[in-house]
Each structure stands twice: as structure tokens, then as C-alpha cells.
A and B are shown apart, each in its own frame.
Chain A
Amino acid sequence: MTETSLHAILDRPNSYIGRSVPRPNVRRLLQGRGTYVDDIRLPRMVHVAFVRSPYAHARIEAINTVAAVKCPGVVAVVTGAELATYCTPWVGVLSHLEGLKSQPQHAIAVDKACWQGEAVAAVVAETRAQAEDGAECVQVQWRELMPVVDMERALDAETSVIHEDLGDNLAWERSFEAGDVDTAFSTCTVVDEVFSFGRHTGVTLEPRAILASFEAAEEQLTVYHSGQAPHMMQNIFATHLGLQEHNVRVICRDVGGSFGIKVHAYADEMAAVALSVMLRRPVKFIADRLESFLSDIHARDHRIRARMAISDDGHIRAIEIDDLTGIGPFSVYPRTSGIEANQIVNLTGAQYTCKNYRATTRVVFQNKVPMCQYRAVGHPIATAVTEGLVDAAAAAIGMDPVAVRQLNLIADDSYPCKAPTGLSFERLSHQRSLKKLLELMDYDGLRAEQARRRADGVYLGIGIATFIELTNPSAMFYGVGGARISAQDGCTLRLDAKGSVICTSGVTEQGQGTEAVMAQVTATAVGVPLDRVRVILGDTDVTPYGGGTWASRAAGIGGEAAVQAGKALRSQILEVAGIVLQSDPAKLDIREGRVVDMADGRDRVGLDEIARIAYYRADTLPKDFQSELVATRHYVPKQYPFAFTNGVQASWLEVDIETGFVTLLKHWAVEDCGTVINPQLVDEQVRGGVVQGIGAALFEHCLYDAQGQLLNGSMMDYLTPMAAEMPDIEVAHIETPTDDSELGAKGAGEAGTAGAPAAVMNAINDALRPLNARLNAHPATPERILAALGIVTET
């Protein structure tokens, strides 16, 4: 091994890259000794509960707070108009989503409520129970307005306009066309399908939580937040509360699940922070489960008409989609509610060679819970539409669905290349991944078993879904549109006085294992044992500036910053060591926490001794030398706007054609996220993501009535995947590192969710195919399956 190659992160001796080491910092969680926001109690802390609109759309005529103020323990009752003097409204638009419009949104609604559950008054009290008592005593005089509920009718002339200032209920639209779509549709076999994707939501087990503490004397605000993006929130709190950004500190300690749900600026959370400024004391807001369903962002809610043209020999010749999505009454701040629709336009069909593509999306306002980015944003929809069309097209021409995919997937040797929409693909492995999947699942064996069991009246189905996933976004995702959301991230490494390494970074941990990844990369890059690295994340006063964890960016971007910071700290340490040992630093290395001779690994001195000399006996070092044992490096992807990854999944299930129940038998996933830093953590990200995707495909649906009332807003009524119904999931990897970074890691956190709904839905349709039944409505409930079979009529 050459000296040069020893400096490359993937060639380091005693590397932790690629090893399934257990996560640091989780023993406390195993003992119930974590620190989630609700576990924190501050002196003079009070609690807020919100009066929420019982109507989907209603004008606030008057609010009577007299009785509420007299309730025991109540400290203040605050209306939207009163709070507006402390917190300015915001508008969730981005300039690169040209034409996207929205209405200014207040922390507490001022004139009218635009969804059932929007906060219209706040009651602050000594305890949460007392605040809720007070909220029940607030009397609101309402004038009901006609709600816009059905997105299909949101643009009709007779439908009321939610925000009159905007002129209509159209938030945004985008059309795209490439190649010769019409010729393909007029000359090939065409499948024409309508897909629907119900609203669902994140159901993080820890509900949204925030604790704000305002120190009036210094105008300093400290916010403990159950969130993913502390620096983004620092900017938002400072901007809308009129504070200096450097006087706002956002701390994210343990976060009980996020999945994109906790990366948005929520009105009620802004209100809690503004109340802390107003009342000059700590204010805590913990959403209860019922208000989570009514106030956490919802996701999806798309209806897509989609067509595919296929030649008789199985070549996909054209794809066309027409998407409609309802986003609630506001585009959510600061990421907007246009991104999911934009992703669907960008991603549909992009794993295939077909160049003829036409897409339209319309994003409309409605009086439901605001819709925004949730795990895998747009990917599950683009994948389910694309892969549903492929299966339908394969059936239409009598070809095996796998054969159609093998024929049309972009070949592994044709990179770099571009999708019709202009997305750049550095290097993907669709063909190798599919091949690996087929071996893993024994595709031919399953087809034989399917045929054999069908003779006994058992309806088994196989569903395949190939997909791409957007990870490691550059500033082209949000920054270019004007959002103050950092695409770059930093890592600072500091040698402590005993020779251990303290790692701080702007990426954050919500359970996915960010701290483990940062520790593994740091230990490898510096050359210390893993247990000599301490990782500290989630504190704007402490960490380098960065974006946080979302869009599968923590490992790829935070990890690369750690690589470069680690190399810099190693050089700094070796510079001191060179003086102490009177050796050429270039001939020394650090391994297992000790300075050794590069050539033969001979032990020279421990890092504890280097630290002791540098920190306590600097008098023994040359007068013209100053040791620096702290290094910061930042990283943002430069060559490609996004590091696209690819994967393929398969579902094997049984449909009971008498009850419509689906039994999941097995699920497989082959994932290519580039360099795998911790295989077990990646596998568990994939598994958890797959199960969220299964939830979307089979169970999860926010049901509304015609007045815009949420009908199933509790965990008794809203179905989530539970242990008994979930299958075992086999995960395998192909590794195609990105050359954009030395580490080569791409994201993996959303792939499971991106592919699972398509795989499950294709498997259901595969099972039903002999019965000439088909459905494209997510979730595929027993009722919908029986309706597809003509046994019942869907209500």
C-alpha cells in the first residue's frame, strides 16, 4: 500500500467504514433516560393548549376569553391578532417553483380558520391540563364558510375561493414535454390508468414538541425542539420574531421520530415561541395525538391519470402523466407544498431509457390539513405510477413484467446520462440490482409456486418495483429558490486533553444513526478507536452551520465533512508528533489512537501524550510553532445537483379473494446507496422505510367527509403497520459510490418508502390478474379489493 493511498478514507487501516458497529449514545434510550423535549422542565415554565377550529372553513366573528381567563392556573389567553404583534406571518413559496403562490399564514389564525384543527386562540397555564380546561372555556363565534374539500372540484367556477386575494384555488402548475409523445401513442399498444394516493401522515411516536425560553434582558431565545433542522429553525424564529439570529439558540436533543414531519415551520410551534417572548417565560407545547392528526402535515393526496405506449417487442415508447394534488389551505413554510408534485414530474419513468415524456401537475388549495414533504417526497407516487404502468403494459402485450424491465432499464454502462427532464445520473446500477433481486427472491421458483397454488384457489402475487431516489441535494433543491436552508454542512473535530476526539456537526440525529456514521467516519479518518470519539449534534450554539438531516443527506454530506475534518486533524496531530518525535510527519500515521511509523506500523507515542504536551507543556515545543488541534471542514456536492441512487424491491403476498385481506409473505430490497458506512444501519433504514411504504399501500388514509371533517384522527381509527402484519424483509446491496465525494456515500433513508407501495400494489394486481380485476387506489383496503373484484360497491 502506498503512502498516498493510506490517506484516502476508503483505504485507511483499521477502518470502521463498512462495519456494523452498534450506535453510540443509545444506551440512555434503552434505559428510558433519553431527553425528549417533554422530559425537560425549566423554572417558571408554563404550558400552552390551543383552541382549534371545529370547522374546515369558517370566519372568526368574535372570541370571548372572559371565562377562560378565570380558570384555575390560567396565565394568559391570546388570540391571533394579539400574537401577530410578536410574530410576523410567512408565505411558503420558492422562486424556482415559478408561479407558486400562497397566502400569508399567521402563528394563530386571525380572521378565519382554513382547516379543521387550525389554532385560533392559545391558552397558557401552569399545567397542560389547566390549559386544556381554559381552552374549553374560550367561546368563539363562528360563521361557517363553504369548504373546498374535493380537490377535483377545487378549480370549478362554482367552488368558493379560499384566499380571495389569490384569485383562485390554483397554487401552482407545471407542464413538461420531451420527445415525440403523440406519435408513440398513436402507433403502439397503450395502457391508460388512473392512480390515486390517499392522504396519510407521519405518526411519529413522539408527537411534535417545542419548549421556548426567552431571556428578555439580553433578548436571547433558547428553543428546545423536536426537529430535524436546527439552523433552519434558528433563522425562521429570528426572522419572524424580530430577533438577532445569533441570539437564537435551537437545541434538538433526542427526537422521537421525524421522517420529514418535523422539518417544517408549524404555526402552533411558532405561536408557542412567540408566547414565550410575549410572556417572558418558558412556554412548552406538546401536541397530543388527536391534535397531531389535525396539525402535523399530511402527505401525498394525488390523483394521476397515466398512460404508457409500448411496442409489441416490449420497448416503452412514451409515458404521460396528468397529476392533481390537494395541499390544504397554505403552501407550507419554508419548503413549500409544491416540491412533491415537482418531484413526481421529475422522477416518473426516469429509470427507463424512454425519451418521450409528457407531464402536467396542478397543485390546488383545499380546506384540509396542510400537505408537505414526508419521507420519500414524491418518490412513492412516481414509482407506483411508473411501475404500475409497466406491469399493465407487460400484461397488455403478453410479456413477463421482469423481461420488460430488463429491456427498458437504463444499462449500467451508459452513465453519465440524463433523464428527459434533465436530471443528471452519475452512475446507477439498475440492471445489476434487478439481477441480484431476482436471485435473492428466486423469481422463477416463486412464479412456479404461484401457478401451483392457484390451482388450489390461492391467489399469490409477485410485485416488482424499480426506482431512483434523490439524495445529497445541493443548493439546487431549496437554496436556489430563496429558502434559507443550508445544503452544505460542516464538521468540527477537536482533540481533547486525553487524546479523544470530539465531533460536532450540523447534521442531526432522529434515530437513523447519524451519530454512528459520524463517529465511524471520524474514527477512521483520524485513526482512533470508535470509543474515543464523542459526537455532539443538534445545537446551533455548538455545531458548525448546516442543514440538518433530511433528503437522505446526513451520511453523504455530513460524513464527507467528517472525512475532510478528520484528515485535517490527523495532519495537525502529526505535525506536533513530528516535533515531539523529531520525525518527518509525512512518515508518521495515526492508528488505533497512537502515532506509528507509516511504513511498518511501529508504535511511537499515544495521542494522550501528544495532547498532554500540546495543552500543558507547550513550553517544550519550538517558540515559532503553535499547535492547532481542532479542524473544521465543510462539504456540499458540486459536480451533481443531487446524488441519485437506485434500488429495486419485490413483494410476495396472498390476497384472500373472499375477504379482500392481504397477507404479506415476504419482501425483498436491493439498494445501491454507494459506499455503505454501516451495513446494519442501512438495512434497518431500508426495513423501516419499506414498512412505512407498506402502511401507505395497505392501511394509512386520512379520511374526510364532505364538510372537510377528519373522520379517523386517532390511533384507534387510523391504521398503521403493526408487528403482527409485517413480513420479514431481506435486504441486499450493490455499491456504486459517487465520485463527488471521497467517501462516496449516497443516501439510503427514503429508498424503502419510495419502492414499497409500488411493489405491494403490483403484487396485489398480479394476484388478481386471473380474475380480470385491477386497482390503482392507495391504500388498497379490503373494501377496495372486493370492489375491484365486483363483490361490493365502494362507498
Chain B
Amino acid sequence: MEPMIHIQLSVNGKKVQVQVPARQTLVDFLRYGLELTGSHIGCEHGSCGACTVRLDGDIVRGCLVLAAQADGAQVETIEGASDDGSLADLQATFHTRNALQCGYCTPGILLTAQELLATNPAPTRTEIRKFLSGNYCRCTGYQAIVDAIESVAISRRGAVAS
């Protein structure tokens, strides 16, 4: 039989205790174990960024972390970050600026953008492009995504200043 490991972790603020296959990646566990399908699988070798999730506050590639490694950790996915409202301005601006087409890369890009703005509230366009360099988008050509993030950065700074 397939070796199983018992893990206990927090996913989007909810406690989860479960047996997982020892070889299962975190993104497979989230998608197929918990049916949180917002984290997408694009390459399974850490290139495309579609599976980006937060692990103890930092964004990671869900395909390069084993579920077993998340034992004791706090995991946040796009579903959790959507429900707590923290991405609402990014999501609204991505919508109005059409910074998504097929939407498959979008959850990963939103979480990456949120991390950028948390660490650098006033990024230049070049800095935005560099920070996104690990997130592949085949549809948009990236410009609308850069525009949207730049615009949210400006409005968040305005909100802080006022």
C-alpha cells in the first residue's frame, strides 16, 4: 500500500487533520484532497507559478512542496484570500483593466502581486515586471497585469496617505 502520513495544518484559517500520501504535493492535496481547485497546476516543475499558495505567510509553489511538509503550517489559497477581502481591490482592478483572459494564471498572479505590494508599496513598472517573472501568462502579454498592479499600488498609497 501507498505510504501515508498524518498531517495537521490550517488551511484558510480552518483546522485540517488528514492522512495524505507521502508523495503528494501540496497543490494536489489542496485540489484533490480538499477540493480547493483555485490553485492550478500548469507545469509541476516550479516554472509557471499557477500553483502559487501562501505557506506560513510566504508565497510558494504548491507543486514544489509536499503536503507532508505543510504539517503544522498555515496555508492560504486564493479562495481564502478572496473571502477575507484582502485581494478585493486587486481583483476589481484586474476585472476593469481586463488583466486576465483565460484566468488560469490569475490566482497565482494575484497572490504574487499581493506579496509584491506588501514588500514594496511603490514599485516601478520594471519592478512589477521583474517580480512577476516567475508567473507565466500566455494570454495577456502582461501589460494589462502590470497596469492593474501599478494602479492598485497607487490607490493603496493614496488610501494610506489620506
Contact = CB atoms under 8 A, between A and B. Distances in A.
Contacts of A22: 95-96, 98
Nearest to A206: B104
Interface string A235-266: 00000000000000000001111110000000
Interface string A710-726: 00001110001111101
B102 interface: yes
A692 B98 contact: no
A46 to B, nearest CB: 13
A72 B91 CA distance: 43
B104 A723 contact: no
B140 to A, nearest CB: 5
Given A26-B95, A32-B82, A722-B136, A728 B104 contact: no
Interface stretch (A387-395, A406-414, A479-487, A509-517): A509-517
B67 interface: no
Contacts of A692: 138, 141
Contacts of B125: 728
Interface of A: 22-23, 26-27, 29-34, 36, 38-39, 41, 72, 127, 129, 202-207, 254-259, 288-289, 510-513, 680-681, 684, 687-692, 714-716, 720-724, 726, 728-729, 752
Interface in B84-113: 91, 94-98, 100-107, 110
Contacts of B153: none
Contact of A512 (B1, B41, B101, B141): B101
Contacts of B96: 22
B77 to A, nearest CB: 7
Contact of A29 (B23, B45, B106, B138): B106
B139 A688 contact: yes
B140 A688 contact: yes
Contacts of A723: 128-130, 132-133, 135, 137, 142, 145-146
Contacts of A127: 32
B21 interface: yes
A724 B82 contact: no
A256 B137 CA distance: 10
B43 A289 contact: yes
Given A684-B140, A692-B138, A205 B132 contact: no
Name B's interface SS.
loop
A586 B54 CA distance: 60
B42 A206 contact: yes
A120 B47 CA distance: 29
Lowest 9 A-B CB distances belong to which pairs?
A32-B38, A29-B103, A511-B102, A256-B104, A511-B101, A691-B141, A32-B78, A715-B47, A39-B37
A256 B143 contact: no
Contact of A257 (B110, B138, B143): B138
Contacts of A288: 44
Given A31-B78, A513-B98, A692-B138, A254 B103 contact: yes
B1 A722 contact: no
Nearest to A289: B43
Given A26-B100, A723-B135, A33 B79 contact: yes
Contacts, number: 178
Q: How large is the interface on B (under 10, 10 to 19, 20 to 34, 35 or more residues)?
A: 35 or more
23 contacts: A29-B102, A29-B103, A30-B103, A31-B78, A32-B106, A38-B37, A129-B23, A205-B138, A206-B40, A513-B98, A684-B141, A687-B144, A688-B138, A688-B141, A691-B141, A692-B138, A723-B145, A724-B129, A724-B132, A724-B133, A728-B125, A729-B143, A752-B141
Looking at A72, A513, A720, A752, the one whose CB has the most chain B CB atoms below 10 A away is: A720
A30 B94 contact: yes
Given A22-B98, A32-B37, A723-B145, 20 more contacts: A26-B100, A30-B91, A30-B94, A30-B103, A32-B77, A32-B79, A36-B104, A203-B138, A205-B136, A206-B104, A289-B48, A511-B103, A512-B139, A684-B98, A688-B101, A691-B142, A715-B136, A720-B138, A722-B133, A723-B137
B98 to A, nearest CB: 5
Interface string B26-39: 00000110011111
A396 to B, nearest CB: 34
Contacts of A680: 97-98
Interface in B115-129: 125-126, 128-129
A259 B138 contact: yes
B137 A205 contact: yes
Contacts of A36: 37, 40, 104
B35 A38 contact: no
Given A256-B103, A715-B136, A726-B141, A33 B38 contact: yes
B50 interface: yes
A236 B1 CA distance: 40
Name the residue in B82, B106, B133, B146 with the highest tally of chain A Cβ atoms < 10 Å from its Cβ. Answer: B106
A715 B135 contact: no
A205 B105 contact: yes
Contact of B102 (A510, A691, A726): A510
Contacts of B102: 29, 204-206, 254-258, 510-511
Residue among B24, B47, B77, B102 having the largest count of chain A Cβ atoms under 10 Å: B102
Contact of B21 (A129, A206, A258, A511): A129
A728 B150 CA distance: 14
Contacts of B104: 36, 205-206, 256-257
A101 B32 CA distance: 44
Given A31-B79, A32-B77, A729-B143, A289 B42 contact: yes
A38 B41 contact: yes
Nearest to A40: B37
B100 A30 contact: yes
Nearest to B105: A205
A504 to B, nearest CB: 21
Contacts of A752: 141
Nearest to B147: A728
Contact of A30 (B95, B139, B145): B95
A724 B130 contact: yes
A36 B102 CA distance: 10
A32 B36 CA distance: 9
B135 A714 contact: no
Contact of A34 (B103, B128, B143): B103
